[in-house]
């Protein structure tokens, strides 16, 4: 196995590169999207996704990207809603 940061050969069981000190494996297990956070971000509080992105970006990059994606989806839905309401308001006059 090779370090993704410095490219040096390291043990396949290593969690931290002995050459550059960068974590090569997540110590807490698999890095996968957290669907609880994603649903809360999408349905209720978009700010949760943004906060979780900054908390997870170094330790859980997959979960962080997923939370940020759902944040942007929610913001897009909100923007489209306001555009639709503006158009309906103009059409009702």
Residues 19-43: pLDDT tens digits? 998 888 755 557 888 889 989 988 8
Domain count within the chain: 2
* Cβ burial, residue 23 (10 Å; 0-12/13-18/19+): middle
**Both 43 and 77 in a single domain?**
yes
Per the structure, the complete domain to which residue 5 belongs is given by: 1-29
Which residues of the chain fall short of a pLDDT of 70?
26-29
Q: Is the pTM of this model over 0.75?
A: no
User: Is the CB of residue 20 less than 8 Å from the CB of residue 29?
Assistant: no
**Both 23 and 65 in a single domain?**
no
**Both 50 and 75 in a single domain?**
yes
**Both 41 and 25 in a single domain?**
no
The string of DSSP codes covering 1-13 is: -B-TTT--B--TT
**Both 25 and 41 in a single domain?**
no
CA atoms within 13 A on the CB side of 42: 11
**Both 25 and 44 in a single domain?**
no
């Amino acid at each position: 196995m090779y370090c993704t940061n410095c490219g040096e050969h390291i043990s396949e069981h290593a969690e931290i590169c002995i050459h550059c000190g960068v974590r090569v494996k997540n110590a807490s297990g698999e890095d996968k999207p957290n669907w609880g956070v994603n649903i809360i971000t999408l349905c209720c509080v978009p700010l949760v996704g943004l906060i979780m992105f900054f908390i997870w970006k170094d330790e859980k990059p997959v979960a962080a990207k997923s939370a940020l994606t759902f944040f942007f989806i929610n913001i897009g839905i909100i923007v489209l809603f306001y555009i639709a309401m503006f158009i309906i308001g103009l059409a009702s006059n």
